[in-house]
Structure 1
Amino acid sequence: MPYVPYGYSGQGQFGVDLVPDNPKIAIPVVGQCKLRESASFTLKDLKAELTKTDGFPGSIKLYVLYTTATRHVSIQDALQSGQYLHTRSNGETCEVLIVYWDDITDLECVPPQLRAQMFPGAFQLFSAATAPAADSAAFIASLHTFKAFVPTVFPVQMFHWLESWNFALGYVPSSMFNRITNLCIEIDRAEHGKNGVHDFLYIGDRSVLAKCLPAAERFFSAVTEFRRVINAHTIGSSLDDGTEVQTLGGLPKDAWAGITAQWLEAAKWLASVYRRDVLGEVSD
Structure 2
Amino acid sequence: MSTTTVAFIGLGIMGRPMSANLVAAGFDVVGYNRSPAPIEALVAAGGRGAGSIAEAVKGADVVAVMVPDSPDVEAVLAGPDGVFDNAAEGTLVIDFSTILPDVSRRLAAQGAERGLRVLDAPVSGGEAGAVEGVLSIMVGGDAEAFAAAQPVFDAVGATIVHVGPAGAGQTVKAANQLIVAGNIQLLAEAIVFLEAHGVDTEAGVTVLGGGLAGSTVLQRKAGNMLNRDFTPGFRIALHHKDMKIVTDAARAAGVVIPLGAHVAQLVAALNAQGHGGLDHSALFTTVEQLSGRSGS
Mark yes or no: TM-score above 0.5: no
Q: Which has the higher helix share?
A: 2
Higher relative contact order (CA 8 A, sep 6+): 1
TM-score (norm 2): 0.30
User: Which of structures 1 and 2 has the bigger CA Rg?
Assistant: 1
TM-score (norm. length: structure 1): 0.30
